Amino acid sequence: DTEVTQTPKHLVMGMTNKKSLKCEQHMGHRAMYWYKQKAKKPPELMFVYSYEKLSINESVPSRFSPECPNSSLLNLHLHALQPEDSALYLCASSQEGRGQGVAFFGQGTRLTVV
Amino acid sequence: RKEVEQDPGPFNVPEGATVAFNCTYSNSASQSFFWYRQDCRKEPKLLMSVYSSGNEDGRFTAQLNRASQYISLLIRDSKLSDSATYLCVAYSGSARQLTFGSGTQLTVLP
């Protein structure tokens, strides 16, 4: 099973809403990532979790709040977003040790903030 | 200066052509390098890892030159299905961070 599953696939939310994006992998990977991708741009790193601990926060606004409940799950909680936060949000996972850097991406959540 | 820079593209080539993509990186601490492929409105997927000795996977050949901090990807006998955006990626183990280049769009024409 080399799959990273993200839900929902599409999300439309208002600026006052609270929503959560979910990501799940069962490959035993201990590094998990959130990326944001705007149209015709490369993915931009938001957060890195290593062994369920937040190891990198790339100066992401506090309206994005990550959570790693266990080694298989990664959430991104959204609150009071702005229209410019509309983007494709990608979750990825990779092994620690040998295989580092080989990331498996989920299909992404296409988020529209209205 | 961006950490990973790629040919801006786009590349439009006929079927059967050979096409080469180049990439440079600025962080000498980067440990591993990869080419990812991203189809329109899809997620990135690993195409191949890149080694100093060069590596080949079918029609695809990747090369890393650490001294020049340069990475390349060669696609021979292009197929219509090769049309995608190709992303050059550097990995830093200390930061556990994948850094993506801006991507090069390839369109293979019939």
Tell whether the model's pLDDT for residue B57 goes beyond 80.
yes
Interface contact flag, A48 B87, Cβ < 8 Å? no
- Which residues in chain B have their CB less than 8 angstroms from residue A89's CB? none
- Which residues in chain A have their CB less than 8 angstroms from residue B89's CB? 101
Residue A59, C-beta contacts closer than 8 angstroms, at least 6 positions apart: none
Q: How confident is the model at residue B1 (pLDDT cuts 50, 70, 90)?
A: low
Interface contact flag, B44 A105, Cβ < 8 Å? yes
Residue B75, C-beta contacts closer than 8 angstroms, at least 6 positions apart: B18, B19, B20, B21, B59, B60, B82, B106
In chain A, what percentage of residues exceed pLDDT 90?
82
Tokens read off for B27: 């962080």
Cβ-nearest to A100 among B43, B46, B91: B91
Q: What is the pLDDT of residue B71?
A: 95
Whether residue B19 lies within 8 A of chain A, CB to CB, comes out as no
Interface contact flag, B45 A102, Cβ < 8 Å? no
What residue in B sits closest to A49 (Cα-Cα)? B96
Residue A95, C-beta contacts closer than 8 angstroms, at least 6 positions apart: A27, A28, A29, A30, A31, A102
Tell whether the model's pLDDT for residue A47 goes beyond 60.
yes
Q: What is the pLDDT of residue A100?
A: 73
- Which residues in chain A have their CB less than 8 angstroms from residue B100's CB? 42-44
Tell whether the model's pLDDT for residue A75 goes beyond 90.
yes
Q: What is the pLDDT of residue A1?
A: 55
Q: What would the pLDDT profile of B78-96 be if each residue is shown by its tens digit? A: 999 999 999 999 988 777 7
Average pLDDT, rounded, for chain A: 92
Q: What is the pLDDT of residue B109?
A: 97
Q: What is the pLDDT of residue A59?
A: 87
> For the residues A46-51, what does the mean pLDDT come to?
92
Q: How many residues appear in chain B?
A: 110
pLDDT, greater one: B97 or A68:
A68
